[in-house]
C-alpha cells in the first residue's frame, strides 16, 4: 500500500509535496513506475494499479482520474451530459469520452482508449458542482425538454434522497427555467 491509499488510487506528484521536493518525488515515481509498483497514466498522472487474477491489470476508474485532476489543478468538476444521466440511471448509454465541466482551464486527457475532457464553463454551471442537484441539472439539460416524461421523473424520484430533494429547491435558481420547474416538482413529490 502506498502512503495510506489502496489499490486503484490515482494521483499526481502533488500528493507527495510534503514528503520531498518535486525533483525527488519525480525520481521516486520514475523508479516505482519502472518497478511496476505504480503506473504512469499520462504526464503527471499516476496510478497504484489494481490487478485481478482473472483479468490482469484493471483500468483506473474515471471518477478516480477526475478526482486526481481536480486536486492537481485546484478546480471543481461537474459531470455533464450522458455520464450525468447514466450516473442517475436515466440512460444505459456510456460514452467513451467523459466530459466534466470545470471552473479551471480546459484540457483533454487520453488514457488508453478513454478520453476525459475538462470543459471550461460559467460560474452559474459550477454553482452546483459536487451535488446531486448538479447531476440532475446536467442530465436533464442533456436529455432535453421534449424527452422528459413520467418514466424519467420516476427514475429520478427513486434515486433522490430526502436531503437531495431539499437541495433541488435551493439549486433551482442555477438551472434554466424549465429545469427549475422540474426540480421544484421533484422536491414537492418527495414530501
Mean pLDDT, the chain, integer: 89
| Interval 137-148: pLDDT, tens | 999 999 999 999
Is the pLDDT assigned to residue 163 strictly greater than 60? yes
> Given phi > 0 = left and psi -120 to 50 = alpha, else beta, which region is 65?
alpha
Is the pLDDT assigned to residue 170 strictly greater than 80? yes
Residue 55 burial (10 A CB sphere; 0-12, 13-18, 19+): exposed
| Interval 1-31: pLDDT, tens | 454 466 778 999 988 888 888 899 999 999 9
Give the pLDDT of residue 6.
63
Average pLDDT score over residue span 89-99? 85
Average pLDDT score over residue span 97-105? 91
Assigned C-alpha cell, 108: 483533454
Give the pLDDT of residue 140.
96
Give the pLDDT of residue 7.
74
Assigned C-alpha cell, 11: 494521483
Give the pLDDT of residue 1.
43
How many residues are listed for the chain in this entry?
191
Contacts of 136 (CB under 8 A, 6+ apart): 84, 88, 156, 160, 168, 183, 186
- Please count the other Cβ atoms lying within 10 Å of the Cβ belonging to residue 114: 16
| Interval 36-78: pLDDT, tens | 889 999 888 999 988 888 988 888 888 889 889 887 777 899 9
Asked if residues 84 and 135 have their Cβ atoms less than 8 Å apart, the reply is yes
Assigned C-alpha cell, 131: 451535488
In the block, which residue shows the cell 467523459? 98
Whole-structure pTM value: 0.81
pLDDT confidence band for 117 (50 / 70 / 90): very high
Amino acid at each position: 500500500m502506498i502512503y495510506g491509499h489502496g489499490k486503484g488510487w490515482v494521483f499526481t506528484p502533488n500528493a507527495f509535496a510534503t514528503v520531498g521536493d518535486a525533483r525527488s518525488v519525480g525520481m521516486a515515481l520514475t523508479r516505482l513506475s519502472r518497478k511496476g509498483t505504480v503506473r504512469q497514466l499520462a504526464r503527471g498522472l499516476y496510478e497504484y494499479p489494481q490487478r485481478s487474477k482473472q483479468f490482469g491489470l484493471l483500468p483506473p476508474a474515471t471518477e478516480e482520474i477526475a478526482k486526481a485532476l481536480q486536486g492537481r489543478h485546484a478546480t471543481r468538476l461537474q459531470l455533464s451530459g450522458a455520464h450525468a444521466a447514466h450516473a442517475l440511471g436515466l440512460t444505459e448509454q456510456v460514452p467513451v469520452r467523459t466530459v466534466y465541466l470545470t471552473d479551471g482551464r480546459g484540457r483533454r486527457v487520453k488514457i488508453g482508449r478513454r478520453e476525459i475532457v475538462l470543459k471550461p464553463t460559467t460560474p452559474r454551471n459550477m454553482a452546483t458542482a459536487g451535488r446531486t442537484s448538479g447531476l440532475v441539472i446536467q442530465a436533464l439539460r442533456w436529455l432535453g425538454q421534449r424527452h422528459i416524461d413520467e418514466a424519467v421523473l420516476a427514475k429520478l424520484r427513486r434515486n433522490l434522497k430526502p436531503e437531495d430533494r431539499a437541495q433541488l429547491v435551493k439549486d433551482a435558481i442555477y438551472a434554466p427555467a424549465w429545469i427549475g420547474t422540474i426540480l421544484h416538482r421533484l422536491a414537492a413529490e418527495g414530501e
